[in-house]
């Protein structure tokens, strides 16, 4: 009996598979259903998991079914597996914009469903994932799914499904915000005379160190910022420029835009 079945074997599925195996899950308890033969062979060779291409057969004995497919084909995939879905299984969707209501309509009205919003740093086991469960999900099922996503980083539960859209704005899309900042810092560093490699390494390690300090310190980000900002110094000059140019407003508008787009997608895919 396969405990975990992944429908789709792309990047996020691969990182979840790798993370769970690294945390002690048995490869023999994982099955991946993937239409691309090359992807199937890669997953089998890299992780030692069972692979196939028949979604209906794959889910028949599954305890956890992870739907790791694009939102655009989620409806077709969900309706395809519904007739053979094990009635004791919990279905986990990692697609943005697909509500549990829509999934229940496609899978069955009493199916246990969890929405997960992981982010791309999960690929290096440093992800941040928020989870939401519908009313048919048991505590045991929530525990199993928590273990899967904790294998690739931090995870938490939200009580209201709409909060998943806020999570998208903060951590789902968040890595791209930091990549853009790193891109700018590297470019400016080069303009100021540093080599490309040096500017990249300095900016990246600075981001890493700041993140680790934020996670490990009892101080708030505001307090940490104040600790590194000497009156009349270089950091104060830079931060004053951010304030004058409206950095907070830019970020607020950007994150609100991401939230609104997530809400629009939920409506689009519900039709």
pTM, two decimals, is 0.90
Q: Are 31 and 52 in contact (CB under 8 A)?
A: yes
- Give the pLDDT confidence score for residue 152 in this predicted structure: 92
- Give the pLDDT confidence score for residue 23 in this predicted structure: 84
Considering only CA atoms, give the Rg of the chain. 21
Residues 153, 145, 155, 183: is their CA dihedral positive or negative? positive
pLDDT tens digits for 89-111? 999 999 988 999 999 999 998 99
- Give the pLDDT confidence score for residue 36 in this predicted structure: 92
| Residues of the chain scoring pLDDT < 70 | 1-2, 271
| 8 Cβ contact partners less than 8 Å away, ≥ 6 residues apart | 32, 33, 34, 67, 68, 69
Q: Where are the beta strands (DSSP E) in 82-199?
A: 90-93, 112-117, 127-133, 153-157
Residues 78-81: contacts with CB under 8 Å, at least 24 apart: 78/103, 78/106, 78/107, 79/106, 79/107, 80/55, 80/56, 81/7, 81/55, 81/56, 81/107
Q: Compute the C-alpha angle 61/67/69, nearest 5°.
A: 135
- Give the pLDDT confidence score for residue 124 in this predicted structure: 87
- Give the pLDDT confidence score for residue 85 in this predicted structure: 94
Would you state the structure tokens that stand for residue 92, as one six-digit string?
Answer: 């986990």
3-state SS class at 115: strand
Domain annotation for the chain: domains and CATH numbers: 4-160 (3.40.50.720), 174-266 (1.10.3730.10)
Count the neighbouring beta carbons within 10 Å of the beta carbon of residue 264.
12
The total number of residues written for the chain in this structure: 271
- Give the pLDDT confidence score for residue 1 in this predicted structure: 43
| 102 Cβ contact partners less than 8 Å away, ≥ 6 residues apart | 75, 269, 270
In angstroms, the CA 65 to CA 86 distance is 9
H helices of 23-95, in order, are 37-47, 55-59, 71-81
- Give the pLDDT confidence score for residue 269 in this predicted structure: 77
């Amino acid at each position: 009996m396969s405990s975990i079945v992944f429908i789709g074997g792309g990047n996020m599925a691969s990182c979840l598979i790798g993370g769970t195996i690294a945390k002690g899950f048995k490869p023999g308890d994982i099955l991946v259903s993937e239409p691309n033969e090359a992807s199937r062979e890669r997953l089998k060779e890299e992780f030692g998991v069972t692979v196939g291409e028949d979604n209906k057969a794959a889910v028949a004995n599954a305890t956890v079914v992870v739907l790791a497919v694009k939102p655009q084909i989620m409806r077709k995939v969900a309706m395809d597996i519904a007739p053979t879905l094990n009635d004791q299984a919990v279905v986990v969707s990692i697609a943005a914009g697909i509500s549990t209501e829509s999934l229940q309509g496609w899978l069955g009205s009493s199916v246990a469903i969890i929405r997960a919003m992981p982010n791309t740093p999960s690929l290096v086991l440093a992800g941040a994932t928020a989870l939401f469960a519908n009313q048919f999900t048991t505590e045991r099922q929530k525990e199993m799914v928590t273990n899967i996503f904790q294998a690739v980083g931090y995870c938490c539960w939200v009580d209201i499904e709409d909060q998943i859209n806020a999570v998208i704005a903060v951590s789902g899309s968040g890595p791209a915000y930091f990549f853009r900042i790193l891109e700018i810092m590297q470019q400016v560093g080069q303009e100021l005379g540093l080599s490309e490699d040096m500017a990249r390494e300095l900016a990246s390690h600075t981001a890493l160190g700041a993140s680790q300090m934020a996670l490990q310190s009892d101080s708030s980000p505001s307090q940490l910022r104040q600790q590194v900002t000497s009156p009349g110094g270089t950091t104060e000059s830079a931060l004053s420029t951010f304030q004058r140019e409206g950095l907070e407003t830019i970020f607020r508008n950007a994150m609100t835009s991401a939230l609104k787009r997530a809400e629009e997608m939920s409506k689009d895919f519900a039709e």
